[in-house]
Amino acid sequence: MPGFELFGELEKEQVQQVLDTGVLMRYGFDGLRNGQWKAKELEAAVAQRMQTQYCHAMSSGTAALTVALASAGIGAGDEVIMPTFTFVASFESILALGAVPILVDVDDTLTLDPKAVQSAITPKTKVVMPVHMCGSMADLGALRSLCDQYGLLLLEDACQAIGGSYMGKPLGSIGDLGCFSFDYVKTITCGEGGALITNKAEYYENAHAYSDHGHDHKGNDRGAEGHPFLGYNYRISELNAAVGCAQILRLDEFLEVQERNYRILRQAIHAVEGVTFRRVPEGGVENYSFLNFFLPTEAMARKVHKALADVGVDACFYWYDNNWHYYRKWQHLLQQHTLGKLPNEAKQGLQKPHGLDFSASDHWIGRTISCLVKLGWSRAEVETRALQMATAIKSVMEAQ
């Protein structure tokens, strides 16, 4: 997945153009910047690649999620449905606005189970936030219908699946809003950065203002701009945006390499009896940043995870025990460990740890192994790895 593996001349050249002007900020300083507007350039390139009308770049993917929610008017007490398997940014962005994250089961897509989503809808629900984890997507057809039926907003977190598609449309562009992260380990990187995309002018107008202290960005005197509402600072710097300008142009090249490597690995372990693969919804195309597969039992998944590490196959993850990605280790959320007080609406609305039953998620995540697909491997390296993986998995299965 990581774009950092292929940091080269194009990235350096883009950054140098910013350094030559010395204008590191995305707004203002028109006379000094010598025509360089890297954040704007990045936004135009992302909007074009994702076939949406609008894109707004920010300081991180977490910022993008927060601003996306804020731009649609989400606030204190509003319930946002999110999956049990994701990155902590999902609930961080929701809680940042005083809204309430509602954890909901995932299925064999490793993303939100539409049936579980439907059961979790209450009069307070405002948003369904599928997270396209590990390179593949939620069942967007089913979720879109549910959102239309109940009048909810569909916000796609496509931070881990940029470049994938559903029914021919880029992931992120199917929801009312979509978010990407360009942090250092994502498929394309800015160092730190993120973006939201949308086709709705109102959300875009709200987003650029909200992420820059509420500035309306009218006229060309920044000091004299109005503040139609309260905002915050989630701006991306021109230096970070410059790296992104180079990387977005390389996205399709990265995807091609990932797909080649993914297919070699998949074919090798496909032949191992007992291995099954994560379900990709019909009409979906992965971005191939991870190869995700199931073992028949939790015990076998643990053994396979260990066997892979033992033979030196690195970057394979067992998310079930992971600190960042699965609800079982989110004690800080479940026990409400916060520095200051939470807003009352969030405090009262949060699910209580006792009584939570995510056995349906455990059934899948407990048996899942995800292996990162890197860009820098040579063909020979991938083939060696594929053989090592197949041999290690087979030895665990045969020992049963």
Ligand X SMILES: *Cc1c(COP(=O)(O)O)cnc(C)c1O
Q: Which of 101, 194, 231, 366 binds ligand X (CB under 6 A)?
A: 194
Q: How far is CA 81 from CA 103, 128, 143, 174, 339, in A?
A: 6, 5, 11, 17, 24
Q: Which of 61, 101, 163, 172 binds ligand X (CB under 6 A)?
A: 61
CB of 89 to ligand X, least distance (A): 4
Residue 171 or 272 having the CB closest to ligand X: 171
- List the catalytic residues: 186
| 357 contact partners, CB below 8 Å, separation of at least 6 | none
Residue 45 or 138 having the CB closest to ligand X: 138
Q: Name the residue number minimizing CB distance to ligand X.
A: 61
Judged by CB under 6 A, which stretch of 57-65, 163-171, 224-232, 391-399 contacts ligand X? 57-65
Judged by CB under 6 A, which stretch of 85-93, 228-236, 288-296, 378-386 contacts ligand X? 85-93
Give the count of alpha carbons within 13 A of 198, CB side only. Answer: 25
Q: Indicate whether 62 belongs to the interface with ligand X (CB under 6 A).
A: yes
Q: Indicate whether 187 belongs to the interface with ligand X (CB under 6 A).
A: no
Q: Indicate whether 156 belongs to the interface with ligand X (CB under 6 A).
A: no
Q: Indicate whether 84 belongs to the interface with ligand X (CB under 6 A).
A: no
Q: Indicate whether 287 belongs to the interface with ligand X (CB under 6 A).
A: no
Judged by CB under 6 A, which stretch of 82-90, 205-213, 227-235, 361-369 contacts ligand X? 82-90
Q: Indicate whether 157 belongs to the interface with ligand X (CB under 6 A).
A: yes
161 contacts 287 by C-beta, under 8 angstroms: yes
98 contacts 145 by C-beta, under 8 angstroms: no
Q: Indicate whether 60 belongs to the interface with ligand X (CB under 6 A).
A: yes
Residue 36 or 160 having the CB closest to ligand X: 160
Compute how many other C-beta atoms are within 10 angstroms of the C-beta atom of residue 352: 9
Return residues touching ligand X (CB under 6 A).
Answer: 60-62, 86-87, 89, 131, 157, 159-160, 181, 183, 194
